[in-house]
Structure 1
């Protein structure tokens, strides 16, 4: 019996000491302190076992053992239910099942021996154990379910054009752009990946209007359809990141960025478009590995430029170049790390090659950001939305567009 109590106490002390200092949410740290306290009570119960099955010098050693077994039951049922709720397998599942079965056997044995005899108000003691269990379950629900979901993430995110100026030779416009990316809420976030890109679109005004197939296709693919403007294949004018992969954005922190893009004036461009994408996770639900920011891996040889490896088919076509960031993603508490499978965060910056059917010009590209959380280390197996949801991963996109005539007019002011 002492072995079961000692095993449970060891697990509780390990989980509790880790969560008391390192859990990502305040409620998780409270649960950590509760687990450490429960581990100490189980340690006392382990010592009481020696007395109860020995000389019984201590009057309440049987009750102490009974309380310890009760704590084993409550805590390991919590671990087991959390594992079932996560719908994932870890080897610790067998430990929770074993300890729950052991607790049932221990209760049966202690009941046969009437271990509560000699204890004043035994019903009160039993009630206290039940109340402790209810409080523990309520604390678990509060720390793991309510707290990480109650406070909304408030990110101020947008793109805008600045005032352009003409180049000295009159061949191009220097167009300033601004990306606002600021944490306006109370929840810290971790940046999974960001991308900005500026595309130039050759356009043509048509008084008759574009065909029905064209404007329907534009409405479906670009979320806008202009009846009298015909768009042709785009050209990339610039791309980059406005926040580093793995950056932590605390409440009030501003990672906004300004940059300047040169727009050629003699290439037939009619519209200039800025696109920005940001993907992040809530810091009270998960944490990226410390290696994430240094894990960049390009698909091409840096010396020769030769393409070396393909991305998964869901990310890019064969032959498309990319670079990626990748690391393990940690749950918000050690309890969840033991009861949930290991997941990995991967973000791909993809540079598609031209082929028939794409909407960019031959010899050009249109970069794309593809963030994901997967179960396998290589990022091939994508988790479902419900499996990714506990991390609070969110991807937002913003865009703005100006006509070249509008930019030229602003440059002449």
Structure 2
């Protein structure tokens, strides 16, 4: 048997490496894209998945052509063109995934780097060593097809990653109203109406919605105006920003608070309105006024999805852990306040983000306060990476709002004199 020429041997080795790389890339891209073509939460996400599937199929076709060309010896200008197109598809997909990955580190970064490095080598091998470009006689048509494919891919990437987050904002309106208060000798009846209305075009998950009714009193009413010196004292001792000329500072006590909806249990579709009415009973003459406040945390339906059942923890059970300092500080309650904590892991709107972003969970804190101090606004929430439970800074909150539609709403409060 005659020995295999060195050039042929090197060609088969590089061909084997090229074919193996194309098959591995095809498997990864088809797996990643197939999940999005069927399960992505938006049309743009499904289109991106379809592009990855096409890239994977092109890579697999290229692997077959490498085998036909370098091992069966039946190559032609078409097999060379298909191989080159498959390598370019892997390179483009790798670069796209690498750009998406740059915001956060996950272990899949090394897979995208591998795709880019391998495809760059395969492209050099085809163009420099194999002279593939010279073997293709329809170079203009090939360049046109490759350019059009690249343009579509880049346009989809820009649309899904840059334009879409800003083009369709989530618009939900939260309101709380006090109706006509009724009194009898012993009881005052305060009717409340709460409303959540989706006035936009994007569905929203209600992570949590709460209300609190506060009774307001002030000790004395003066016939003559209080002096600026007394105002200065109010500012120095109590940090007040509302200064009354004819009354002492108002003292508030939460007389009723609760959840309007079970956490993570309600979806508000575009145009949908959720209304809830309550009547709170108070002792007559106990308070001079009442103030109602409602709050809600929302999540865009097309950005994230609840991944598992909601975990619930009561502070008075088991070890009785205290709430984080940032939660008690944000809501103005003592560090030993009682609370209920709800936590749930969430997944992203498409598989590409699930691979290129850290896993996250939402935690909702419903604060009950202490015997003598109750929160005026009982809800706090965070969307953080697994293993973290920290206060979201302003910049991080804005980033979460832009990327995932996680946001906070407050109605601003309504007051009625009793």
Relative to the length of structure 1, the TM-score reads 0.86
302, 307, 310: which one pairs with 1:284?
302
Alpha-carbon displacement from aligned partner over 1:105-126 (angstroms, at most 9, x marks no partner): 1011101211234422214313
SS in structure 1 at match of 2:49: helix
340, 344, 347: which one pairs with 2:361?
344
Relative to structure 1, is the Cα distance of residues 387 and 221 closer, same or farther in structure 2, using a 3 angstrom cutoff? farther
Residue of structure 1 equivalent to 2:258: 240
> Is residue 391 from structure 1 mapped to residue 407 from structure 2 by the alignment?
no
SS in structure 1 at match of 2:361: strand
Is this contact kept in 1: 2:368–2:374, CA < 8 A? no
| 1:251-330 correspondence runs (5 A) | 251-267=270-286, 269-292=287-310, 295-301=311-317, 308-316=320-328, 317-330=334-347
SS in structure 2 at match of 1:205: coil
162, 173, 180: which one pairs with 2:188?
173
Root-mean-square deviation (CA, aligned residues, Å) is 2.4
Q: Structure 1: how far apart are the matches of 2:240 and 2:34?
A: 51
SS in structure 2 at match of 1:182: strand
Is this contact kept in 2: 1:329–1:343, CA < 8 A? yes
> Is residue 41 from structure 1 mapped to residue 58 from structure 2 by the alignment?
yes
Residue of structure 2 equivalent to 1:124: 141
Structure 2, unaligned runs of 5 or more: 1-17, 329-333
Is this contact kept in 2: 1:242–1:255, CA < 8 A? no
Relative to structure 1, is the Cα distance of residues 286 and 353 closer, same or farther in structure 2, using a 3 angstrom cutoff? same
Q: Which has the larger radius of gyration?
A: 2
Q: Structure 2: how far apart are the matches of 1:338 and 1:127?
A: 32
Q: How many corresponding residue pairs?
A: 385
248, 253, 278: which one pairs with 1:230?
248
Q: Tell me by how many angstroms 1:367 deviates.
A: 5.2
Structure 1, unaligned runs of 5 or more: 355-361, 405-413
Alpha-carbon displacement from aligned partner over 1:201-227 (angstroms, at most 9, x marks no partner): 1124334247324776899877x5544
Is this contact kept in 2: 1:331–1:337, CA < 8 A? yes
Residue of structure 2 equivalent to 1:250: 269
SS in structure 2 at match of 1:96: helix
Residue of structure 2 equivalent to 1:401: 415
Alpha-carbon displacement from aligned partner over 1:10-40 (angstroms, at most 9, x marks no partner): 2211221111122122111111122222221
More deviation, 153-162/365-374: 365-374
Is this contact kept in 2: 1:345–1:379, CA < 8 A? no
Residue of structure 2 equivalent to 1:106: 122
